[in-house]
Chain A
Amino acid sequence: MIISILIIPLLGGIILLLSSKRPRWHFTVNFLVSSASLIAAVIVLTQTVSGRILTLQIGNWPAPFGITLVADLLSSVMVLLTAIIGWAVAIYANKYVNAHQAGEGFFALMQLMLFGIYGAFLTGDMFNLYVWFEVLLIASFSLMTLGSTSRQTEGAFKYVLLNLVASAFFLVGIGLLYGVAGTLNMADLARKAAMMENTIVLQTVALIFMVSFGIKAAVFPLYFWLPASYHTAPIPVAAIFAGLLTKVGVYALIRVFSLIFIHDTNFTHTILLIVAGLTMLSGVIGAAAQNDFRRILSFHIISQIGYMIMGLALFTPLAVAGAVFYIIHHIIVKSNLFLIAGIVERIHGSFDVSRLGDVYKKWPLLALLFFIPAFSLAGIPPLSGFWAKLTVIKAGLDIRQFAIVFVALGVGLLTIFSMTKIWAQVFWKEQPITKEHRNTGNNPVWMELIPVAFLALLTIIIGLLAGPVFEISNRAAEQLLNHKPYIEAVLGGGR
């Protein structure tokens, strides 16, 4: 079953590439492929939700010699979220991608990028993770430069360069890890790392991985590529990037720092905790200085990443569950906000909040659809963000880490400030009339409102049904902290 999650987008990407002469079919084909992925992801989640761990040994090579695909609860939840965002963007993109861009391979690259993301979530092998990272990166590079305006090229250049540095660090880490442990299978690594007596080299390797995944996840001193590049990409692309790509980095951090590098949590997880606090703060303060709709949102990605890392760094079952809940909430909300920014731009012809206005008066439905994810992001009850923040902060209070709790609460307050800034400027304020700027005269169409409404509905559902969602996060966290079932599922019980 796991393999279908990888086969569907790969086949879809190939079909789309081969039919580049018929770009008009692309929208339909892409939609069908995304729907199939969504169904497959739901089926996988129904199989793993009970706590079962699905594994697949590629080519029947037994682990740890071959490549293993593993779907535990965290992986299947991430896969489902990816499929949901892919599906929503597949509908949304219809209005934004013309036949020419489709012919250039927009949808094909989109499917191949999703293919890479699914792979990164499912793999159980460190080197294979590197390969999946490169698959999704090369597709994202191309998507980012697809319009090739000079700003896009600039943004993409920074993005490409820093990601290549991250990949080089990743390779170094893999090399040293293999030298220390003699294996790259994650389950085998967990087993061997637990038995290792001299952990000083392992700690060094842990820090190298922290830098590499930290660049990809955009944590504090390493995030500068993100606000410089995300806003230059076309909106459907930016929405997927915003929701999913940094979360691949966060997922990788959670995976290795809960499975492999756990022998000296005093050292590694304290660094993570400090990084988390600074990430939250610098992201939210950076957002306050911005005027571009997308750049405000980009900085908020960074500050929200801080909360997830905080959950990982506190490293209690409740905190890790909080981090998982936060990821679930964040992916849906953040992609949705980017999609809404795109609709506002299509109507009013600008992303600059000082030039926008009047959206609430003219399009109350759109304003409502913005209100839900924006105030969920800020953590207003009963929306999903409230429960996510509550869990992480409660976990911090439980183990008396008051400093980080204080930062988290303060950042929540500043997030409200930022969201009210967008709300007041874009939705409430009267639009200033200037000579060089006028509205495009476009109206929002159902094709773009449906995915936005769908994601907003999911936000409400997560908020109202916080119990079951939290239960899933809790089980995922239990699986992350209790390695025995994972190791047995991958390596077989007899070992």
Chain B
Amino acid sequence: MQLFLPLIIGILFSAGFYLLLRRNLLKVILGIALVAHAANLLIFTMGGLKTTRPPIIAESKKMIEGLVTDPLPQALILTAIVIGFGVQVFALILARRLYQQTGISDINAVKNSDVNTEQVEKDGSL
């Protein structure tokens, strides 16, 4: 696990940033999702990796004994996953709406809001 997880995180980050730099709207959003997953896994590893040591108090005891897995990062990423899921779904719907309204799927063509109003009206693309 010590070697495996950093590798996975690295692959996810590089794949995510590669996709973020693509021009296709959908790929960019997939890139966001991959980067978010990589970030979540990174938080997970920051709690330290221990197997078969759940942070549960045995029935007869009053306190946790010995070294156990840190439960906080897991609680954090659970929150982050849920938030990330909601926001990514919103981004997907927005991309679909953008495609429906303008027929654009190339991110370089998304520039109407970047130029002056007058120019857009002259081009007739508004």
Q: From known contacts A154-B102, A161-B91, A352-B117, infer whether A175 and B35 are also in contact, taking CB-CB under 8 Å.
A: no
A150 CA to B72 CA in the complex, in Å? 43
Q: Is there contact, CB below 8 Å, between A171 and B80? A: yes
Q: Is there contact, CB below 8 Å, between A153 and B20? A: no
In the complex, how many angstroms separate the beta carbon of A204 from the nearest chain B beta carbon?
13
CB 8 Å contact bits of B44-57 with A (1 = contact, 0 = none): 01110000000000
Q: Which residues of A contact B46 (CB under 8 A)?
A: 175-176, 178-179
In the complex, how many angstroms separate the beta carbon of A411 from the nearest chain B beta carbon?
22
Interface residues on A, range: 35 or more
Is there a chain B Cβ closer than 8 Å to A478's Cβ? no
Q: Which residues of A contact B101 (CB under 8 A)?
A: 148, 150, 153
Q: Is there contact, CB below 8 Å, between A229 and B87? A: no
Q: From known contacts A151-B126, A161-B28, infer whether A178 and B117 are also in contact, taking CB-CB under 8 Å.
A: no
Q: Which residues of A contact B120 (CB under 8 A)?
A: 151
In the complex, how many angstroms separate the beta carbon of B98 from the nearest chain A beta carbon?
5
Q: Is there contact, CB below 8 Å, between A178 and B43? A: yes
Q: Which residues of B contact A161 (CB under 8 A)?
A: 28-29, 32, 91
Which of A23-31, A287-295, A329-337, A382-390 interfaces with chain B?
A287-295
Q: Which residues of B contact A134 (CB under 8 A)?
A: 83, 87
A231 CA to B36 CA in the complex, in Å? 29
Is there a chain A Cβ closer than 8 Å to B108's Cβ? no
Is there a chain A Cβ closer than 8 Å to B110's Cβ? yes
Q: Is there contact, CB below 8 Å, between B116 and A171? A: no
Q: Is there contact, CB below 8 Å, between A172 and B42? A: yes
The A66-100 residues at the B interface (CB cut-off 8 A) are none
Is there a chain B Cβ closer than 8 Å to A354's Cβ? yes
Interface residues of A (CB under 8 A from B): 127, 130-131, 134, 137-138, 141-142, 145, 148, 150-151, 153-158, 160-161, 164-165, 167-168, 171-172, 174-176, 178-179, 227-229, 231-232, 290-292, 295, 350-352, 354
What are 8 inter-chain pairs, A to B, with CB distance below 8 A? A151-B112, A156-B94, A165-B35, A167-B87, A171-B39, A171-B80, A290-B116, A352-B118
The 9 nearest A-B residue pairs measured at CB: A179-B46, A175-B43, A171-B39, A150-B101, A155-B113, A154-B113, A175-B42, A168-B35, A134-B83
